[in-house]
Amino acid sequence: MTGHTLTRRSIIATGLGTALAGCTNPRLFDSPPPAPANNFGALKPLDLRPENLIKITVCTRPLRPAGPRLEAEVIGDKTIVHNYGHGGSGWSLAWGYAEAARDLAAASRPTSVTVVGAGAIGLTTAIALAETGAKVTILARDLPMETRSTRATGVWSPSSRIGYRSATGDDFPARWEALARRSYARHLSYIGRAGHPVEFTPQFYVRHEPREAPLASDHSGGNEFLHLGRNLRGLTPPWSERGTHPFPTDAGVRGGLGMVFNIAEYTRQLTEDFHAMGGRIERADIGSVAELARLPGDVVVNCTGYGAKTLVSDTSMLGVRGQIAWMAAQTDRLYGIYHRNVTALSRRDGLLIQETGGNDYFGLGDDSETPDRQEFLAAHAKVAPMFDWG
């Protein structure tokens, strides 16, 4: 590894997901983190040659300014529990909201439940309900590996685009924190499983001078996003300045371990766990609230993500476009960097390059899912020079 002199900056960036969200990350320990004992061994540079590009995917984050919808509604004689609208935090928060949705459904003492939706929220909610002994069926237009959830970055980012400060209630932060903590604990239970659905890998915030300007203007429409990462301080491994690192920058590098979701394997594992509990998954397109209320089951749980905008006419829902360029997996170098507003993340199931725009307003109000090759090339040009070593 080449040594680079670091300049300590006031910028605190800890965790790729947090960097994406533009807020600080919680620390694992109450005491200040010790000086880094290692730099995660000898890192190999990521091979970002453009010819390694396999595909470009785009997905729409389901943003509700008031925060995710988690509530029970009775239509006719049917209880419908809504669990959708988790913005850029759906994977991170999935288990917390799944267990809370299960608790809402429990008031009806259901023996059979229909869950609509097979993304991160639908799968985890279905498992949480099946654990109560209820017979659970998932109905979904897109089966698990086809959902928008499979197109996510796959990092712990529990407060990313979770709502607007002005539209969430005063009780939201405490409620969110409790659900985020529950979710984190449950993700931890997947660490060490065959295939590594969840794992911790090194992540680095590689600074650049001058600091990259955001691509989208702040406070569009006067709305400010909530950033609650600080509330989870002490939960995740600490980050610290890296005295030595291989990245060709003199502006400084911060790094630590970050929770990563290997989404292909996590989705497969969740699907298998659900089937092992007797759950069934069927393809179905639900066209209206009336149809939702006629579905079989004592309780119906609506986990349709951005689809809820149309299905239950949730006009508050906003789409936030996000694009990822995928290269073949490089499993002998599993780590990520965030540099000049671009994430390059090497996961077991692929190497991702993503322009984040530098703040939460990037992609806001845009639900087009057409890949943009120019966006990839521009992001690549910013981040590729950081791997020009080795």
Ligand X SMILES: Cc1cc2nc3c(=O)[nH]c(=O)nc-3n(C[C@H](O)[C@H](O)[C@H](O)COP(=O)(O)OP(=O)(O)OC[C@H]3O[C@@H](n4cnc5c(N)ncnc54)[C@H](O)[C@@H]3O)c2cc1C
Q: How far is the CB of 334 from ligand X (least distance, A)?
A: 15
> Is residue 142 close enough to count as binding ligand X by CB under 6 A?
yes
The window from 117-125, 269-277, 367-375, 378-386 that contacts ligand X (CB under 6 A) reads: 117-125
Shortest separation between residue 291's beta carbon and ligand X, angstroms: 9
Q: Is 355 in the site for ligand X (CB under 6 A)?
A: no
| Residue whose CB is less far from ligand X, 154 or 173 | 154
Least distance to ligand X, CB of residue 6, Å: 27
Using CB under 6 A as the binding rule, the residues of this chain from 195 to 254 that contact ligand X are none
**Residue 153 in contact with ligand X, rule: CB under 6 A:** yes
Residue type, position 104, single letter: L
CA distances from 29 to 175, 190, 239, 295 (A): 22, 22, 11, 47
Pick from 14, 18, 24, 92 the residue near ligand X by CB under 6 A. Answer: 92
Binding flag, residue 318, ligand X (CB under 6 A)? no
The β-bridge partners of 136 are 113
Nearest to 79 by CA among 302, 305, 317, 282: 302
Q: Which of 306, 335, 361, 376 binds ligand X (CB under 6 A)?
A: 306
Contact status: 15 vs ligand X (CB under 6 A)? no
- Does position 122 interact with ligand X (CB under 6 A)? The reply is yes
Task: Compute the distance between CA of residue 342 and CA of residue 261 in angstroms, rounded to an integer.
Answer: 19
Residues in the interface with ligand X (CB under 6 A) total 41
Q: Which residues between 286 and 305 bind ligand X (CB under 6 A)?
A: 286, 303-305
Angle of helix 120-130 relative to helix 90-106, nearest 10 degrees, comes to: 40
* Angle between helical axes of 120-130 and 263-276 (0-180°, round to 10): 30
Exactly one of 311, 317, 318, 344 binds ligand X (CB under 6 A); that residue is 311
157 binds ligand X (CB under 6 A): yes
Select the residue interacting with ligand X from 67, 88, 229, 237 (CB under 6 A). Answer: 88
Looking at beta carbons only, is 242 or 360 nearer to ligand X?
360
172: contact with ligand X by CB under 6 A: no
Could you say whether residue 119 binds ligand X (CB under 6 A)? Answer: yes
Distance in Å, CB of 61 to ligand X, minimum: 4
Smaller CB separation from ligand X, 24 or 89: 89
- Quick check: 6 binds ligand X (CB under 6 A)? no
What span, in angstroms and rounded, lies between the C-alpha atoms of 386 and 106?
51
Residues forming the site for ligand X (CB under 6 A) = 17, 59, 61-62, 84, 86-92, 116-122, 140-142, 147-149, 152-155, 157, 284-286, 303-307, 311, 322, 324
